[in-house]
Structure 1
Amino acid sequence: MDPFMILALLGMGCFGGFAAGLLGIGGGMILVPFITMVLTARDVPEALVVHMAIATSLATIMFTSLSSVRAHHKHGAVVWRIVALLAPGILVGSTIGPWIGKQMDASTLAWFFGAFVAFSATQMLINKKPAAARELPGTAGMFTAGGVIGVLAGLVGAGGGFVSVPFMTWCNVRIHNAVATSAALGFPIAFAGTIANVFYGWGEPGLPDYSLGFIYLPALAIIVAASVMTAPLGARTAHRMPVRQLQKVFAVLLYALATYMFWKAAT
């Protein structure tokens, strides 16, 4: 891997880690398009590029989540009872999401990812939070909610924050607690999704060297090295300053990345 590619991956890791800690989004929606660019530049077969980018992004969240959640936990912001209730459904859903993704061709998966990112950017830009209309559901309801979060997160290679945070705020969880708890949920999402992507991608024809299933290990290692350093910084920033202006910047970036994924799907 040439030095420019290494620097690009380090930059992605720094930015993705900061976003994960700041917004509880796992960084995946930022990382997937950039990893797609890197894999395309390395002449990975087009049929595998998006699948591998999503799988590699999801694997990074295992490390980013642990790094950012420690900073959130120091502020007492993580609601561990919610983590325990959502985690079983998340573990199930996060194994199903990659399976669904494998059934899609690369173009369809890129279209779906781009649409999800554009929706998430709009949600971030308008900052419309659901009214706190109810309390958290019972065990069965939380399992179902966790399953939905896991399926979507496993399918797009993200930490699930754009689903879990609105769900929790709708259920009367304070926004800072929802962001922190979403960061903690990133680990079970990424763990189950990573195992699934290794299994579903094992022996796939055309995988580049140093791949583990659909996961491209060189990109994983470089991104993680950077992201674990910046995720705590993002988490501390979330507790020390209003993040509204930063949200707008991230939303514009997400629109640009969604546009790239639409272009990738169309070509």
Structure 2
Amino acid sequence: MSFNGHGKTAVITGASSGIGAATAVALAEAGFRLALGARRTQKLEQLAEELQQRTGQRPFIQALDVTSPNSSQHFIEEVVRELGHIHVLVNNAGLARGVTHIADADDKDEEDWREMMETNVMGLLRVTRLALPHMLKAGSGHVINLGSIAGREAYAGGSVYCATKFAVRAITEALRQELLGKPIRVTTIDPGMVETEFSIVRYHGDEAKANEVYAGMTPLTAEDIADCVLFVATRPAHVNIDAIIVKPVDQAGAGKVARRS
């Protein structure tokens, strides 16, 4: 089965690093025209240069803060103005902040909770709402949401992050029903442990703590998840992959990890 995206435009949020950047590489090499958004525009510029060298085609890039209605609307408007259509939306922007238990939380933790809710839930809803009319106008579309196994199994210290990913799964399943009969596919990809900047962000820049998360085991890579995105995005138009749950062999669930000394 061909992994061909020629003639299709894909939008990726949170594209400056990690899974977003790896997905940009995978889709660009498969022939998709890309629109990449993220808050870190310098990293977007670097990625655009790399993609141009790899494929001969430079993606459209623009600053995007999915927590901002104005930024999100301007981004989608510019994507359509530059590229004409949106066929695939990869809702990748998201983060985890902190591992504080609710009973031990303070005002700073509430700020972290708010950031996760605004980014992982409201940001995803906002960009999806803005992109869908253009997919319907194009006559085809695919919303691919980056979820997590944390959206299927909660764990102590992750109450709010897990809540946001449970929400992503609920939104994905409801959206698929709301769009029934229309030419729009809806997918969630739910990874387990993936070694990116995720844990560094979660531990507020503490790289030592972040490294401990993956000590003694082999986690997934950003490229592993990008492969999943490419697969679901290039199935025949009548095929919808509802969900992919993907974990490293060393992980059986949240907190269930085989580690070697």
Higher strand share goes to which structure? Answer: 2
Say which structure, 1 or 2, has more relative contact order (CA 8 Å, 6+ apart). Answer: 1
Larger Rg, first or second structure (1 or 2): 2
Q: TM-score, normalised to structure 2's length?
A: 0.32
TM superposition score normalised by structure 1: 0.31
